[in-house]
Amino acid sequence: MTTPAIDYHALFAATPSPYLVLGPDLVILDVNAAYCRATGRTRDDLIGQYLFDAFPDNPADPNADGVQNLSASLHRVLLSKQPDTMAVQKYDIPVPDRPGAFEERWWSPINTPVLGPDEQVAWIIHRVEDVTEFVLSHNTRARPGQALSEHEAMEAELYARSRELQLVIEQLRKAHARERKIAVTLQEAMMQSPDLARHPNIAVRYLPAAKGLNVCGDWYDVVDLPDDRFAVAVGDVVGHGLEAAAAMGMLRSALSAAVRALHEPASAMEALGLYARSVEGACTTTAVKAVVDTHGRHITYSSAGHPPPVLVRPDGTFVLLDQATDPPLGARPDHVPRPQAAVPYASGDTLVLYTDGLIERRGEDIDVGLHRLTDTLCGNPRLSPDHLADALLSRLGVSSGGHDDIALIVVRL
């Protein structure tokens, strides 16, 4: 039996709930008949309009906050790529054919993202239910000397409790945002690299995960060494939270000190592996260290279970630095010396180190993400390090953060 094709545009047009479709720039792209009926507008009135030009705040209401609240919700959707259910909102709407006149309205909105092939928000579905009659009836039903029926009293109680709950949720959201900002600021402070300022040819990026408190365990580092050499490193402590951040800070500092004393990446990684055994939460950490010899024009590197750095040539070819890979820190019960390999480079080549949050996606083999990374690098080998770093985050769909945190270093050699 053949299932007939479904006309989804017709379904959208006919659904009884009011819907409109927004682009990421919050311009109205489509609207159904129910929305037009609820707002007294036509499709021609709305399509192509910036949402808040079509529906501004009521200038006669000094307490109007509909634009502010809806804008905050829509931007949360763009950032988190998750649906956002709003509290019941008082959001008056302009009266058609009466310039400057507004009608009191109360709405229950839900904003839902639709992701495109690049995992970015392509559209936002804005669904509302007009609850004006319900809200106004509950505001006026209880008159002096008039008792509510049992059913009316229950409705009023449920409405009051739902409003209280929505206010608590909003307070929690604001508190979480403050805590997140503090946590990210703390982590960025822990990743200061004093030597980085001397390298205008190096771009670094750190993006916390888009969800959660975002105190995580990824790091990057840049260290100057004697004899025209410098070292770059990235690492990833398993897990999230303060424990992962604490382990990250200790391991990053230890590796930075080790390479300054030992100079060779394998020796530094070996010292880090021994130190990691005494750091709670450090086992299974992955890291990669590369030392660039600008006089001899070669890169020496060593990896502890980390995704391979990429060396990109100006002609668009690339080399994976995957010839000196060992298990993550603490994965072996007995100490074994770490491997080391070297690769030559030429002026104009680009070295890229990153953590797995850049390429790893749920339900997808990590090699698929690695292929996306190398395709982007090979297609843009002559971009400046800063522009290339931004292009990587954008093309891999994580410029606003992903499921995991991301550390990235781009070095123009």
Give me the phi and psi of 226, to 5 degrees please: -65, 165
Q: Where are the alpha helices (DSSP H) in 124-195?
A: 132-140, 150-190
- Digit-coded pLDDT (tens) for 86-132: 877 889 988 888 888 899 988 888 999 999 988 889 999 999 988 88
Is the CB of residue 70 less than 8 Å from the CB of residue 78? no
Query: Tell me, what amino acid is at 386?
Result: D
Query: Tell me, what amino acid is at 370?
Result: L
Residue 393 C-alpha from the chain's centroid: 10
- Give the separation between CA 196 and CA 321, rounded to whole angstroms: 22
Q: How many residues does the structure list for the chain? A: 413
- Give the separation between CA 216 and CA 127, rounded to whole angstroms: 35
Beta bridge partners of 126: 20, 111
Beta bridge partners of 109: 128
Give whole-number Cα distances, 107 to 6, 32, 102, in Å: 30, 17, 15
- Nearby residues of 153 by Cβ (< 8 Å), 6 or more positions away: none
- Nearby residues of 206 by Cβ (< 8 Å), 6 or more positions away: 187, 188, 191, 218, 220, 405, 406, 407, 408
Is the CB of residue 366 less than 8 Å from the CB of residue 307? yes
Structure tokens at 22: 């927004």
Structure tokens at 241: 């939270």
- Give the separation between CA 236 and CA 406, rounded to whole angstroms: 9
Is the CB of residue 402 less than 8 Å from the CB of residue 210? yes
CB-count exposure of residue 244 (10 Å: 0-12, 13-18, 19+): buried
Is the CB of residue 411 less than 8 Å from the CB of residue 202? yes
Residue pLDDT tens, the chain, 413 long: 566 788 888 888 888 889 999 999 999 999 999 999 999 999 999 999 999 999 999 998 888 888 998 999 999 999 889 898 887 788 998 888 888 889 998 888 899 999 998 888 999 999 998 888 877 776 554 444 455 456 555 555 566 566 666 677 777 777 767 766 766 676 667 677 888 889 999 999 988 776 555 566 788 999 999 999 999 999 988 866 667 777 788 888 889 999 999 989 999 999 998 888 888 877 888 999 999 999 999 999 999 999 999 999 999 999 999 999 888 887 777 777 899 999 999 999 999 999 988 988 888 888 888 999 999 999 988 899 999 999 998 888 887 666 778 889 999 99
What would the DSSP string read from start to end of 381-395? TTS-HHHHHHHHHHH
Is the CB of residue 301 less than 8 Å from the CB of residue 324? yes
- Digit-coded pLDDT (tens) for 273-297: 888 888 887 788 899 999 999 999 9
- Give the separation between CA 11 and CA 167, rounded to whole angstroms: 34
- Give the separation between CA 259 and CA 268, rounded to whole angstroms: 5
